[in-house]
Amino acid sequence: MKEDNYILFDNYLNKELSASEIISFEEKLQSDTNFKQEFEIYKALNDSLSSKFENEEEEKRLRKTLSNLGTTYLTEEKTNKKKGEVISLVNYKQLMVAASIALLIGFFIFKDGNPVYNDFSNHTPLELVVRGENNTASIKAEEAFNSKNYEEAFKQLSILANINPNDTEIQLYKGISLLELNQYAKAKAIFNKISSGNSSFSNTAKWYIALGFLKQEKLEECKKVLKTIPESAEEYKQAKKLLRKL
């Protein structure tokens, strides 16, 4: 199982997927047996760990047990490999399940720690409507940003921004690219300008100001900004989720 799947499962269970993402997710549950099994294992363990314990020590004992179980599975797998043992198909499948459960346990054991930027930096893909004579730069900007080539994305977005200085979406994605490149002050300057305006990207810019503080581990500043995001904003659920983890 992949950690990406765990994040997807978590978002589904917490009702944080869009309508189209929910349809895609549920279709995959029906068509992909392995994916469905992974989800059922995840949900079962999630329900177990999310249940209320009588006291904190009881929860700690469960987590320690799960952690030891995961370590045991991984140690056995390494031992078998070193011995060069021939593993039957059935045992091999069992071993893969064991390793997957160990990885899942590790995901749960550590996911309740301090949140990090990568947990929340799921950028909406760039889809510009700027075309015509700017078609080449637009295509290059989209391809670069969506493939996480943020240096090239910033370069192409800057070209577009010079031609379309009042396009807020271009400015927003310039800021995101700068944030990914760790140019925090420049990114924040862009986000501040957008957040103080009246565009539809105002709250999105606030969200990215908060993520900028999170990436720099300035958690108190991050909290303050998150609290300014209104319930009407698309980012509100994510903001509340991040606040709970801080």
The residue ranking higher by pLDDT, 105 or 52, is 105
What's the pLDDT score for residue 194?
97
Cα separation, 206 vs 101, whole angstroms = 38
Q: Measuring CA to CA, which residue among 138, 141, 207, 160 is closest to residue 179?
A: 207
Output the pTM of the full model.
0.58
pLDDT, the chain, mean = 79
Cα separation, 154 vs 147, whole angstroms = 13
The residue ranking higher by pLDDT, 1 or 176, is 176
The residue ranking higher by pLDDT, 166 or 71, is 166
Query: Residue written as tokens 């539809």?
Result: 200
Say what percent of the chain tops pLDDT 90. 48
What's the pLDDT score for residue 87?
42
Cα separation, 221 vs 211, whole angstroms = 10
What is each CA distance from 153 to 142, 144, 168, 185, in whole angstroms? 7, 5, 16, 18
Using 50, 70 and 90 to split pLDDT, how confident is the model at 129?
confident
Cα separation, 185 vs 86, whole angstroms = 57
Query: Residue written as tokens 């991050």?
Result: 222
Contacts of 22 (CB under 8 A, 6+ apart): 12
The residue ranking higher by pLDDT, 164 or 43, is 164
Largest CA distance in the chain: 66
What's the pLDDT score for residue 57?
53
The residue ranking higher by pLDDT, 38 or 32, is 32
- Domains of the chain by start residue, with CATH: 3-112 (no CATH), 132-245 (1.25.40.10)
Contacts of 140 (CB under 8 A, 6+ apart): 152, 156
Q: Is the pLDDT of residue 51 over 70?
A: no
